[in-house]
Amino acid sequence: MKCPFCGEIDNKVIDSRLSKDATAIRRRRECLGCARRFTTYEQIEDMPIMIIKKDGRRETFSREKVRSGMQRACEKRSVSVNAIEDFIDELERDLRDTGEKEIPSTMLGEKIMEKLQALDEVAYVRFASVYREFKDVSDFVSELKLLLGNQNTGR
């Protein structure tokens, strides 16, 4: 690690401890050239999740895009902002747990709908109508029949 004061690369670690949120290691260092002290942080490199769109384009997973879609689907429903944030946290964890760096948008959409169905069924139908591009009322009716069928079978 290069000293920010004199540019020397030789230094020693005096103290190491976890950061307050336990996501990094704080290291207190002393430069062997000028004897000044400085702090560095070591943390896990965050690898972005890439979403493969239907047309083959790739874009970085965006919590904001998911949040926006969720807020539209949950508009005028009794779903709190905290519930939406928890939902997105869990979704992102699930995506990272797959171990894949690239995830098809279809898989992302299905995961969102699966989680949304458990959170709020009306919001689920709203989201599904946009995601699955319902063309007419019969598409809505078909989705509602599936939803009601799953309720009757205990799913």
pLDDT for residue 145? 75
> Is residue 38 a contact partner of residue 5, using CB atoms and an 8 Å limit?
yes
pTM of the model: 0.61
Q: Give the chain's end-to-end CA distance (angstroms, integer).
A: 55
- For residue 152, the SS3 value is helix
24, HSE (Cβ side, Cα atoms, 13 Å):
12
Query: Helices marked H in the chain — which ranges?
Result: 63-73, 81-97, 105-119, 121-131, 137-152
State the pLDDT at residue 15.
96
Token pair 């939902």 in the structure block, residue = 87
Q: Which of 107, 119, 142 is nearest to 70 (CA)?
A: 119
User: CA-based Rg of the chain, rounded to a whole angstrom?
Assistant: 24
**pLDDT for residue 8:** 96
Classified as helix, coil or strand, 138 is: helix
Out of 21-30, 34-43, 130-139, pick the least confident: 130-139
* pLDDT tens by residue, 64-105: 999 999 999 999 999 999 999 999 989 988 898 888 999 999
Average pLDDT, the chain: 86
How many of the other CB atoms lie within 10 Å of CB of 112? 21
